[in-house]
């Protein structure tokens, strides 16, 4: 990314300014089902005020086996206060730690007089498990309109004005791995049978960029002819004084398939640090599908480990002024050794509306997973007129709100860089690799991960290594 280090560090910490996302569930049953597992939810409201809702919960394991909280979702149903209203989630305090609590918003398939939206509360793996009979303790949560307009909670399905102390509350639902174990959803919002026919593939003639990165080296003239820039100019992000080194972007054939390699190296000083980036010269990509197959690395290919590294696939345009509302950026960022206050590996997906560098103000939404993602991964980002969705290896990773949709076209970027030199202070040389198999953008079409794979296979079956029919912005 092309932003200052403090901006990126704030991504991980601005809990109040940031709306946390979480992977959305597929259609869920509206009534509790008989199961060996069991959950119950206690609710209280901390505020009947007009500017924000404060639903507080305790989730209890009423079953006979331990329950991983990462598989638990709680839904609170409400009526939007205006057409197209955008909401933000925040965790004020939680026994399990607010960093381990996520919140995202969804729209009901069958709106009722008291509900057309829902807040879905989830947990990261860091929240651990609930033993039989145990509960989460307080989850002191709140949400509000992004413009801080007044809320009318009296017509919200899940709201209880008199519920000022914890008690069982059946107007919220609790789900474990897709099964409803507690509560009653608003009428008409039960499950639907999955379709028996595969989804229809959209037309294949949409404007498309596809590149298999089949080049001889960073000086191959086809790279520039095909619209790419291998970065050499100085500047952020990363270690001040580091070099962006085109010669560290190399290409090789593995198993008959061409692979691009971005190497970042250091010997513990700014002068010895070489970072890598490749990006499209044109900012002409907006709505549609973005996909890439990327290999993240947890360990260096040589030398001591521990550097605070960022490995990325993202889209971005330029910030014309502080807090400019036509800025846009959508990121996959993997930190194999942590950083920005995180102690270990973490994958972020982040959707940016805008920011201001000084004093720091961030307006974004992100989803994260604290685990290793070393190895090859299929990354898919889709943007339409209502949502931004991130997929990892075919699974929905995060859904972000309409407030973060792009207003202007963007470039497509891959880079690998060091946040700082504090993670590993050794002066022994070391180097890290990030590899890219291909990149695909289909303009104005939202493809499923399976449809992305179909497109990729068609290109490779035809022997196509590059295509760009996306018109200039």
Query: Distance (Å, rounded) from C-alpha 236 to C-alpha 423?
Result: 18
Share of the chain above pLDDT 90, in %: 71
At 459, give phi and psi (nearest 5°): -60, -45
Confidence band of 281 (pLDDT split at 50, 70, 90)? very high
What local confidence, expressed as pLDDT, does residue 189 receive? 67
DSSP-derived pairing of the beta strands 55-61 and 39-45: antiparallel
What local confidence, expressed as pLDDT, does residue 202 receive? 64
Residues 327 and 352: beta-carbon distance below 8 Å:
yes
What local confidence, expressed as pLDDT, does residue 188 receive? 65
Q: How many CA atoms lie within 13 A of 246 on its CB side?
A: 14
User: Which of 192 and 20 is assigned the larger pLDDT?
Assistant: 192
Checking if the pLDDT of 23 tops 50, the result is no
Tens of pLDDT, residues 405-448: 999 999 999 999 999 999 999 999 999 999 999 999 999 999 99
Confidence band of 98 (pLDDT split at 50, 70, 90)? confident
Query: Distance (Å, rounded) from C-alpha 117 to C-alpha 352?
Result: 23
Question: Which residue shows structure tokens 């959305």?
Answer: 24
Query: Distance (Å, rounded) from C-alpha 401 to C-alpha 36?
Result: 35
Query: Distance (Å, rounded) from C-alpha 24 to C-alpha 240?
Result: 39
Query: Distance (Å, rounded) from C-alpha 335 to C-alpha 44?
Result: 38
Confidence band of 203 (pLDDT split at 50, 70, 90)? low
CA distances from 153 to 52, 150, 302 (A): 9, 10, 58
For the chain, what is the mean pLDDT? 87
């Amino acid at each position: 990314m092309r932003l200052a280090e403090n901006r990126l560090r704030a991504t991980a910490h601005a809990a109040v300014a940031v709306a946390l996302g979480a992977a959305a569930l597929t259609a869920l049953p509206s009534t509790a089902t008989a199961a060996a597992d069991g959950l119950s939810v206690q609710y209280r409201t901390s505020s009947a005020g007009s500017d924000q809702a404060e639903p507080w919960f305790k989730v209890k394991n009423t079953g006979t086996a331990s329950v991983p909280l990462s598989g638990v979702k709680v839904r609170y149903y409400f009526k939007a206060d205006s057409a197209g209203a955008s909401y933000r989630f925040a965790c004020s305090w939680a026994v399990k730690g607010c960093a381990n609590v996520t919140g995202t918003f969804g729209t009901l398939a069958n709106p009722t007089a008291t509900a057309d939206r829902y807040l879905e509360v989830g947990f990261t793996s860091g929240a651990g498990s609930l033993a039989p009979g145990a509960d989460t303790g307080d989850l002191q949560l709140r949400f509000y309109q992004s413009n801080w307009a007044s809320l009318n909670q009296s017509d919200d399905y899940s709201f209880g004005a008199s519920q000022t102390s914890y008690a069982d509350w059946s107007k919220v639902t609790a789900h474990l791995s897709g099964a409803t174990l507690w509560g009653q959803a608003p009428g008409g919002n039960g499950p639907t049978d999955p379709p028996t026919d595969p989804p229809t593939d959209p037309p294949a003639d949409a404007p498309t960029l596809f590149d298999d990165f089949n080049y001889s080296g960073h000086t191959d003239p086809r790279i520039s002819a095909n619209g790419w820039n291998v970065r050499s100019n100085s500047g952020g992000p990363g270690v001040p004084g580091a070099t962006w080194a085109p010669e560290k972007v190399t290409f090789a054939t593995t198993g008959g398939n061409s692979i691009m390699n971005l190497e970042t190296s250091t010997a513990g000083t700014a002068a010895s640090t070489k970072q890598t980036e490749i990006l499209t010269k044109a900012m002409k990509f907006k709505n549609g599908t973005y996909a890439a197959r990327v290999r993240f690395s947890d360990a260096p290919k040589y030398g001591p480990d521990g550097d605070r590294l960022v490995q990325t696939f993202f889209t971005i345009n330029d910030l014309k002024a502080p807090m400019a509302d036509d800025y846009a950026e959508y990121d996959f960022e993997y930190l194999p050794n942590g950083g920005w206050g995180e102690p270990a590996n973490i994958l972020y997906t982040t959707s940016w509306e805008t920011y201001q560098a000084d004093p720091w103000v961030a307006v974004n939404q992100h989803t994260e997973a604290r685990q290793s993602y070393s190895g090859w991964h299929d990354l898919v980002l889709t943007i339409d007129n209502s949502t931004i969705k991130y997929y990892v290896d075919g699974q929905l990773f995060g859904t972000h709100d309409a407030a973060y949709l792009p207003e202007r076209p963007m470039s497509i970027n891959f880079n690998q860089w060091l946040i700082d030199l504090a993670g590993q202070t050794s002066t022994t040389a070391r180097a890290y690799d990030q590899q890219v198999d291909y990149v695909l953008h289909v303009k104005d079409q939202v493809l499923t991960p399976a449809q992305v794979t179909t497109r990729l296979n068609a290109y490779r079956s035809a022997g196509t290594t590059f295509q760009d029919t996306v018109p200039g912005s």
